[in-house]
Amino acid sequence: MYDSEELYEEDDNLVPSRSQKKREMIALQGLAEKLMKLSPELVKKCGLPDYFIDEVIDAMSITAHEAKRRKVQYVGKLIRNIDTQPLKVFLEDIETGNRADNEKFHRIERWRDGLVEGDMSILETIMEEFPDADRQRIAQLSRNAKNEKKNAKPPKSAKALFKALRALTEQK
């Protein structure tokens, strides 16, 4: 008879099930598909082997649905032989970078909108963060944008204010 503890001991030598292998392959294909959505210049910077990068770039140019599906499967097969950790980090960095860029953009928009509404405490915040900023120009653009908004004119100064604020944040 079997000892009940023997039945429930975990065997570290178990091979993954077919279902588990299939899930892993589908996940690798997903990584390949994410890579194919990037520009060829970014793909070349991912740090993967040249033969793999060539296949990914080739797959990007295919437009026929069935041919593209087969090529994605082939790239998924190739990716199995590659260490995918750097690729995962690369894709995550791109996504995080996009989020950071979006947050920076929204921050500049909030500054601009606040300045156009007349909240000069934002100007003080900007001057603390960017001591080299041209205070007089930012204040002038804010006043002009406020007047344009009040008189229902095109937002020429608001756009110029946004550009000036973006230039400040890019200097950093």
Q: What is the pLDDT along the chain (172 residues), one digit of tens a residue?
A: 555 555 555 555 678 889 998 898 888 888 888 888 888 888 888 888 889 899 989 988 888 999 988 988 888 888 888 888 888 888 888 887 777 788 889 999 999 999 999 888 999 999 999 998 899 999 999 999 999 989 989 889 999 999 999 998 887 6
The two three-digit tokens of residue 93, written as one number: 């960095």
Contacts of 86 (CB under 8 A, 6+ apart): 46, 47, 48
155 within 8 A of 145, measured Cβ to Cβ: yes
Q: Which residues of 16-26 are buried (b: 16+ CB within 10 A; e: fewer)?
A: eeeeeeeeeee
Q: Confirm if 108 and 169 have CB atoms less than 8 A apart.
A: yes
Has this prediction a pTM greater than 0.85? Answer: no
Q: Which residue has the tokens 């892993």?
A: 24
Instruction: List, in order of start, the domains of the chain with CATH numbers.
Output: 17-82 (1.10.60.30), 93-171 (1.10.60.30)
